[in-house]
Chain A
Amino acid sequence: MSITRGLVARDLRVAVENKEILKGIDLTVEPGRVHALMGPNGSGKSTLAFTLAGHPGYQVLSGSATLDGEDLLGLPPDKRAKAGLFLSFQYPAAIPGVSVANFLRTARMAVRPEDLNPAKFRKLVFDKLDTLDMDPAFLGRYVNDGFSGGEKKRLEMLQMAILAPKYAVLDETDSGLDVDALQSVGRSVNALRESDEGKDIGFLLITHYPRILKYVPADVVHILIDGRIVKTGGPELANEIERDGYDGVRASTSSAQAEAAAARA
């Protein structure tokens, strides 16, 4: 049996506090490709992100999630990261008293124990800081403690660059950012995609607004409404959202569903 490469969800149904949020998600993010998952508030976007990353508060009712064929759902969060998954949080947690440098070192050592060499690690960190145009003073600060929204997102991007995962899920990394910060996030993703380490990373870009796709063009766009992917298409689908909003998509899909139901009848 051949292994399906990709970050794959199959008929994934997930509940939070006994309320079903995801009602059967089918999705495949291939290596090196950018998939955008768009949807209105409450559609289940963040639930998918947290479920993939292994948050204990999300109960998988049925279905599967695999990374290059490896089952994710049976693994604790750290093993998923070791398998090659990265989640950029919408609201990254603060870890007071733990410096960014120490955290990066611990995380990198956990994910890639084989290539840790102090000098090389140091060079890697400074190279990435440089690429992301970040102040080295970041390293001495406590993880996300007292960070502005923009700083938190930049730290997420720095961690993604240093951990160089196989698949990265970016959960509303664009939310709450001004244009400059948004451009900076876009540059971070693109710089990583252009690097040797990052060219095969598959991205799942979760977003409410199409604007980040101007900086990071998506290969595939999915529309998530009420726990289901109702439409999948090319980059033009994002333009449709921009023009008609989610209500437009909801109307067209529900009318399409109604037609299909009528046809079956």
Chain B
Amino acid sequence: MPSGVSETLPALDFTPTAATLDRVLTFLDDQDDGTASDAALRREALARYEALPAPGARPNRGWKYDYAALKFDELRWTSGRIEMAAIPSRPAPKPRPEEAGDLDRPALATENAGGLFFVGATRIDAPSNVDSRITVLPLTESGKHDLAASLAGTLHEIVDWRADKFAALATAFENCGAYVRVPDGVQLETPIQIVFASAPDDEAVFPHVVVILGKGARATVLERHVGDGDPFTCGIVEVHAGEGAELDYAVVQQTGDAARVFFSRGARCERDAQVRWYLAELGGALARTVLSAKLAAPGARAEASALFFNTGMQHVDLTSGVDHTVGPTTSDTVVRSAATDRGQGRYVGNIVIRPKAHGSDASLRDDALLLSKHAHIDSIPALEIAANDVKAFHGATVGSLDEDALFYAGSRGIARGEALRLITLGFFEPVIARFPGAALRDEIRTALDGKIDEATEIDL
């Protein structure tokens, strides 16, 4: 536990069974602190978790994990309000060595409009300078703040937990979360940060993040997963973008080598609203993410930009989905993935254009780079088009390193290993370039660079 703790709550041994849920509910009743998920909903969600099949069979022989056989026995479940004297400083990115003549890369400092910091499921309360125009609260306090009306239509409504096994699990055992509201017309210049740091023990963390943007509001949310611990995290993010609103929502996942991080993130875009998802899966043993957007009214737009680079034994299982319910609506999905060592990846890209979505435009592009013999990435696009007069593009590649480019760089004095680094980082650049903020882009470049150092089989 972090220092300065004034109150701690006991942990429960965790297995996702009805008995555990009963203990969780008793525990929450004792705390008497209105939680977002009520008992009946939690029970229903657990029943759905048990009823739904494990997602997807193993895509190939190298894939190590079986969702149907996930082990929970060593996890613990906690929920707490812990006051701390001071917020631990945000984990700073590894400083980038001063580059000679930085001709093409101006730096940009990042300041926050507000944020929440969790260690495990425990919120660390600290002085923060939240922009007074917005609301940022722990979701578990939503009862105290009478947010029911504000949450209606968003909480438990955007991510379809009834059809998503792990979203159902997250709903049943939710133990922390964030509520962010940006009112009509408020446009933030700096991001809101929500940080999940791993707890020292093997804590199960079930976060639920809700972001609501009013008409014409603009914001950037940065969700980070950091720390050297190896938690099991299973969470939900639900976004509602009101008419004309614009949200950039970026996720940087850098958990420990044995961590398992599961998230279902969904957005609903009203008329002329835009939601842009950014996802950098960099850490963990197994990361499973569903990233979806429902374009609910004409003029709505969704973008998704995702990258992962699996080294060692890392597995990433990514599904993106865009639902064009009406037209004209637009979407643009770009995924870049690489794997080396025994890294495994699967990307499923879904685009649905429904009968009423005339005049819609959807683009889906994914490229994968395999750097070792045992690395594997599957790409499974699925376009379902039920309307006429639409544009839909899909392109996918899976390739290895370009030997011509390696020789070309070699002929310029760049040794093979360094050329490999350049070309691999360059491979990610088109998707990194889409991330918001030069500081974040540089942080991701540095993290990828570090992963190249860690990889043992990067050269064939």
Contact = CB atoms under 8 A, between A and B. Distances in A.
Contacts of A82: 413
A110 B412 contact: yes
Nearest to B103: A101
B411 interface: yes
A103 interface: yes
B41 interface: no
A175 interface: no
Contacts of A92: 408
Given A110-B418, A121-B101, A122-B101, A98 B423 contact: yes
A96 B101 contact: no
A89 B101 contact: no
Contacts of A111: 412-413
A204 B445 CA distance: 39
Interface size band for A: 35 or more
Interface stretch (A48-56, A179-187, A251-259): A48-56
B430 A97 contact: yes
A122 B102 CA distance: 8
A118 B98 CA distance: 9
A159 B429 CA distance: 22
A96 B405 CA distance: 9
Nearest to A55: B407
Contact of B412 (A55, A94, A107, A121): A107
Interface in B401-437: 402-405, 407-416, 418-419, 422-423, 425-430
Contacts of A55: 407
Interface in A137-185: 139-140, 142, 159, 163
B104 interface: yes
Q: Which of B100, B427, B428, B430 is packed against the most chain A CB atoms within 10 Å? A: B100
**Minimum-distance CB pairs A-B, first 4:** A97-B426, A97-B429, A77-B410, A81-B413
Nearest to B433: A97
A122 B412 contact: no
A59 interface: no
A16 interface: no
Contacts of A142: 426, 429
A76 B419 CA distance: 13
A259 B225 CA distance: 82
Interface of B: 98-104, 402-405, 407-416, 418-419, 422-423, 425-430
Given A93-B404, A139-B104, A105 B99 contact: yes
Contact of A110 (B99, B405, B413): B413
A99 interface: yes
Interface of A: 53-56, 76-78, 80-82, 86-87, 89, 92-99, 101-103, 105-107, 109-111, 116-119, 121-122, 125, 139-140, 142, 159, 163
Contacts of A105: 99-101, 103
Contact of B429 (A87, A89, A98): A98
A82 B413 CA distance: 6
A54 B410 contact: yes
B104 A101 contact: yes
A116 B413 CA distance: 15
A149 to B, nearest CB: 16
Contact of B426 (A89, A96, A125): A96
Contacts of A109: 100
Contacts of B102: 118
Contacts of B405: 93-95
30 contacts: A53-B407, A54-B411, A55-B407, A76-B410, A78-B414, A78-B415, A81-B410, A81-B413, A82-B413, A93-B408, A94-B405, A96-B426, A97-B426, A98-B425, A98-B426, A102-B104, A105-B100, A105-B101, A107-B412, A107-B413, A110-B415, A111-B413, A118-B100, A125-B101, A125-B103, A139-B103, A140-B104, A142-B426, A159-B412, A163-B413
A95 B427 CA distance: 8
B410 A106 contact: no
A96 B424 CA distance: 10
Contact of B104 (A78, A81, A99): A99
B412 to A, nearest CB: 4
Contacts of B416: 76, 78
Q: Which of B402, B405, B412, B426 is packed against the most chain A CB atoms within 10 Å? A: B412
Contacts of B403: 56
B196 to A, nearest CB: 30
Contacts of A121: 100-101
Contacts of B103: 99, 101, 105, 122, 125, 139-140
Contacts of B430: 96-97
A171 to B, nearest CB: 11
B303 to A, nearest CB: 19
Nearest to A53: B411
A95 B421 CA distance: 12
